[in-house]
Amino acid sequence: MTGRFQIGKLRIPVQLLHVDLVDSEEYGQRIEHETPFGTDFADIASAGGGQYETGDQMRASSARSIVMRYREDMGPNDRIRNLETGEVINVIAPPRDPDGRRRWLEIDGMVQA
- Look up the CATH number of the domain holding residue 39: 2.40.10.270
pLDDT in tens, 64-98: 999 999 999 999 999 999 999 999 999 999 999 99
- Does pLDDT of 7 surpass 70? no
Q: How far is CA 97 from CA 3, 17, 62, 72, in A?
A: 13, 19, 23, 10
Indicate the number of domains in the chain. Answer: 1
7, part of any domain: no
Q: Stretch 15-36: mean pLDDT, rounded?
A: 90
Q: Is residue 82 part of a domain?
A: yes
Domain-located, residue 1: no
With 70 as the cut, is the pLDDT of residue 56 above it?
Answer: yes
Residue 43 domain-assigned (yes or no): yes
Asked whether residue 4 is domain-assigned, the answer is no
Give me the domain span that covers residue 40. 12-112
pLDDT band (50, 70, 90) for residue 1: very low
Whole-prediction pTM: 0.84
| Secondary structure in 3-state letters for 20-77 | EEEEECCCCEEEEEEEEEEEEEEEEEEEEEEEEEECCEEEEEEEEEEEEECCCCCCCC
**Amino acid identity for residue 107 in this structure:** I
50 falls within a domain: yes
